[in-house]
Amino acid sequence: MKKMDKRELIITATCDLIAENGLQATPISMVAKEACCGAGTIYRYFETKEALIEDVYLTLMERFSDACLKDVDENASVREQLNTVWLNLYHYMREVPRDALLLDQLSVAPAIRGELQEQGKRRLKEKIDPLFARGREEGIIKDIPDDVLGVFVYGGISTLLRTDRNAPCAVPTEVTDDMLLSICWGAIEKRD
Amino acid sequence: MKKMDKRELIITATCDLIAENGLQATPISMVAKEACCGAGTIYRYFETKEALIEDVYLTLMERFSDACLKDVDENASVREQLNTVWLNLYHYMREVPRDALLLDQLSVAPAIRGELQEQGKRRLKEKIDPLFARGREEGIIKDIPDDVLGVFVYGGISTLLRTDRNAPCAVPTEVTDDMLLSICWGAIEKRD
DNA sequence: TAAATCGGAATGAACGTTCATTCTGATACT
DNA sequence: AGTATCAGAATGAACGTTCATTCCGATTTA
């Protein structure tokens, strides 16, 4: 019980520092200081720095999945459910830029290899893939593989937010929920 | 003149190594070996490693802009011109994964700060922004800021390719040009 | 030959990791 | 209860490695 506290303290400290300074600019010594412990202590909980980073990534993806799937009503229409997921994604990354930055940093880290990335995305995919399948059955989604459509929309939203973060002085355009959904659905919706 | 040869040799070597091994895994000594010169020589051409990285980034963005704007016919319709740009983008990143990987690495590098990023994208923006403006005048593009639409589509395409690169064992789905354009236009096209 | 250029060993700083030691608080003994 | 003993958690100085950068003797150029 007490021990888990310290473990999580280290993970939280690492999240904060990587989001703020970047991965290669957060030495273990800095994590130790932020977590109020000695450098050696970190190695009681994590075999190597790489293992720590992996744990940080999985923790992040857990939060991320929770946020995206919040309030998704399994009984609602495909359209409503996807709307919820996309708006969740958009608002989460906008309101918790720390996690969005962290994700950017970790997604090019050598420690995060293919298999781990799969594991991180699994929960999200398991929920969303069936939604696309249903949408296709109902004839409201383009005849293009789900992965292509889903990844395209995810990439669009996350890149939009990243660009906004990088240019804080640019037009502070308010992207409304309606605008966002119009773009997302336009991309995947089948039209006759 | 001769010096430029060596300078470019160093930049090319850096491109290759970063694309292959990642930024923090390519020490100057390795660049020197790849470029067949001593470590000291690199410092005759670049003040610091950071300056070298900046040059690599600008060189990359030049190639990238060239590729995207190739064969864009100023007299063609907005639709045709955007089609050309998007397909250029897609095919370039697919056929030259080295540059796509490099862009991923550099876009989170601390050396690539906001202003430099602006500079890298400038040429592309100067060509594409007027296209969107014309499209809006013609009433074929959504009433949503150009930046939002443009960045969304760019993000979608590049994320699609990145995902494909990361999971080489996944479905080797052939995304046809028609599919891609259907998605891109769906995202930005105004419908009545 | 004089000047410019080059190469790669040398340098020093920074980093991940280790380990001998200290601290803590629970248990056993008197 | 008070003291002694102990296990394992925590510590941070020290170590070896890696890296960017410098320096100087060798080499090319003019």
Mean pLDDT over B47-51 rounds to 96
Distance from B160 to chain A by nearest Cα, in Å?
6
| A191 Cβ within 7 A of any nucleic strand D atom | no
Q: Could you read off the pLDDT of A113-140 as tens digits, one per residue?
A: 989 999 999 999 999 999 999 999 999 9
Q: Going by CATH, does the domain composed of B1-46 fall within 2.60.40.2230?
A: no
Q: B53-188: which CATH architecture?
A: Orthogonal Bundle (1.10)
Position B166 scores a pLDDT of 86
Mean pLDDT over B45-66 rounds to 97
Mean pLDDT over A12-19 rounds to 96
pLDDT of B36 over the 50 cut: yes
Q: Which nucleotide is nearest to A39 (CA to C1')?
A: D12
| Residue A44, both tokens | 């009681």
Question: Which residue from A150, A189, A95, A174 is spatially nearest to B148, judged by alpha carbons?
Answer: A174
C-alpha A169/C-alpha B155 separation (Å) is 20
pLDDT of B3 over the 70 cut: no
| Residue B75, both tokens | 């007299």
C-alpha A156/C-alpha A183 separation (Å) is 9
| A28 Cβ within 7 A of any nucleic strand C atom | yes
C-alpha B102/C-alpha B109 separation (Å) is 11
pLDDT of B168 over the 50 cut: yes
User: Of A42-56, A98-112, B1-15, B30-44, which range is least confident?
Assistant: B1-15
| 3-class secondary-structure state, position B74 | coil
Distance from B4 to chain A by nearest Cα, in Å?
31
Are A156 and B160 an interchain contact pair (Cβ–Cβ within 8 Å)? no
Q: Which nucleotide is nearest to B51 (CA to C1')?
A: D20
Element containing residue A41 per DSSP (H, E): helix A39-45
Give A148's contacts in chain B (Cβ within 8 Å). Answer: 160, 173, 175, 179, 183
Residue found by looking up tokens 């937010």 in the block = A161
Residue to mutate among A50, A183, A188, with most B CBs inside 10 A, is A183
For chain B, the average pLDDT equals: 93
| CB-CB contact of A145 with B171 (8 Å) | yes
Place A171 in a pLDDT band, splitting at 50, 70 and 90. Answer: low
Place A143 in a pLDDT band, splitting at 50, 70 and 90. Answer: very high
The sign one gets for the Cα dihedral A171, A177, A178, A180 is positive
pLDDT of B27 over the 50 cut: yes
Question: Which residue from B87, B85, B157 is spatially nearest to B126, judged by alpha carbons?
Answer: B85
The sign one gets for the Cα dihedral B139, B144, B149, B150 is positive
Interatomic separation, CA of residue B119 and C1' of nucleotide D27, rounded (Å): 40
Position A169 scores a pLDDT of 61
Mean pLDDT over A135-157 rounds to 95
pLDDT of A1 over the 50 cut: no
User: φ and ψ at A189, to 5 degrees?
Assistant: -75, 135
C-alpha B70/C-alpha B49 separation (Å) is 32
C-alpha A11/C-alpha A153 separation (Å) is 30
Distance from A184 to chain B by nearest Cα, in Å?
6
Which residue ranges does chain B devote to CATH 1.10.357.10?
Answer: 53-188
Give residue B46's Cα distance to chain centre: 23
Mean pLDDT over B121-146 rounds to 94
Place A3 in a pLDDT band, splitting at 50, 70 and 90. Answer: very low
> A50-188 belongs to which homologous superfamily?
Tetracycline Repressor, domain 2 (1.10.357.10)
Q: Which nucleotide is nearest to A30 (CA to C1')?
A: C15
Position B1 scores a pLDDT of 36
Mean pLDDT over B146-152 rounds to 95
Interatomic separation, CA of residue A124 and C1' of nucleotide D29, rounded (Å): 64
Q: Could you read off the pLDDT of B78-101 as tens digits, one per residue?
A: 999 999 999 999 999 999 999 999
Are A108 and B110 an interchain contact pair (Cβ–Cβ within 8 Å)? no
Considering only residues 2-61 of protein chain B, which place a Cβ less than 7 A from any atom of strand C? 2-3, 6, 32, 36-41, 43-44
| CB-CB contact of B27 with B72 (8 Å) | no
Which residue ranges does chain A devote to CATH 1.10.357.10?
Answer: 50-188
C-alpha A185/C-alpha A55 separation (Å) is 34
Position B170 scores a pLDDT of 60
User: φ and ψ at A148, to 5 degrees?
Assistant: -60, -50
pLDDT of A182 over the 60 cut: yes
pLDDT of B61 over the 50 cut: yes
C-alpha B192/C-alpha B189 separation (Å) is 10
Which residue ranges does chain A devote to CATH 1.10.10.60?
Answer: 1-46
For chain A, the average pLDDT equals: 93
Which nucleotides in chain D lie less than 7 Å from some protein C-beta? Answer: 9-14, 18-24
Helices in chain B by DSSP H: which ranges?
2-21, 28-34, 39-45, 49-69, 78-95, 97-107, 114-137, 146-166, 177-188
Interatomic separation, CA of residue B112 and C1' of nucleotide D12, rounded (Å): 35
Place B2 in a pLDDT band, splitting at 50, 70 and 90. Answer: very low
C-alpha B152/C-alpha B68 separation (Å) is 16
Which nucleotides in chain C lie less than 7 Å from some protein C-beta? Answer: 5-10, 14-20
Give the DSSP letter of residue A88.
H
What percent of chain B is predicted at pLDDT more than 90?
89
